[in-house]
């Protein structure tokens, strides 16, 4: 009789992503595993039909929802804390159609979102 030995599964390196929100902009810092996961999602997005408006929500797709230690966390400077909520702040990437980008371009000069802005495009 042959006995099979239990083998340990190789543990994946932990993903760590820190999003900083500052007066000058938003930065995403992460370890190599984090950027491999982002790249995997980006590759899927790049292959998607633009009409599908495929999205990557960094906190939702890459975060840990059921553990105390979340893989994605946000730090903000004082100015940003006055405007945004750290617990709900997210960075989202979306594939859009060329006509959507053309529509966005119309507002480049003013730098303002249109009054009837619909982020779902």
Over residues 62-106, the pLDDT tens digits come to: 988 777 888 999 999 999 999 999 989 999 999 999 998 998 899
- 6 pLDDT band, cuts 50/70/90, is low
What is the C-alpha end-to-end distance of the chain, expressed in Å? 63
Neighbours of 90 (CB within 10 A): 13
How much is the pTM?
Answer: 0.79
Two tokens, residue 96? 């859009």
- 55 pLDDT band, cuts 50/70/90, is very high
Residues in CB range of 76: below 8 A, 6 or more apart = 20, 21, 22, 84, 86, 89
DSSP-derived pairing of the beta strands 25-30 and 17-22 = antiparallel
- Per-residue pLDDT at 2: 59
- Per-residue pLDDT at 67: 78
Does position 121 have pLDDT exceeding 70, yes or no?
A: no
Residues 97, 87: Cα–Cα separation, whole Å = 31
């Amino acid at each position: 009789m042959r006995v099979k030995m239990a083998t340990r599964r190789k543990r994946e390196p932990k993903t760590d992503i820190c999003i900083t929100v500052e007066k000058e902009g938003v930065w995403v810092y992460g370890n190599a595993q984090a950027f491999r996961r982002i790249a995997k999602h980006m590759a899927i997005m790049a292959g998607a039909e633009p009409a599908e408006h495929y999205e990557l929500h960094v906190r939702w797709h890459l975060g840990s929802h059921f553990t105390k230690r979340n893989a994605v966390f946000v730090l903000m400077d004082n100015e940003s804390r006055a405007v945004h909520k750290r617990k709900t702040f997210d960075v989202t990437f979306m594939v859009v159609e060329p006509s959507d980008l053309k529509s966005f371009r119309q507002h480049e000069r003013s730098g303002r979102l249109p009054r009837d802005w619909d982020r779902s495009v």
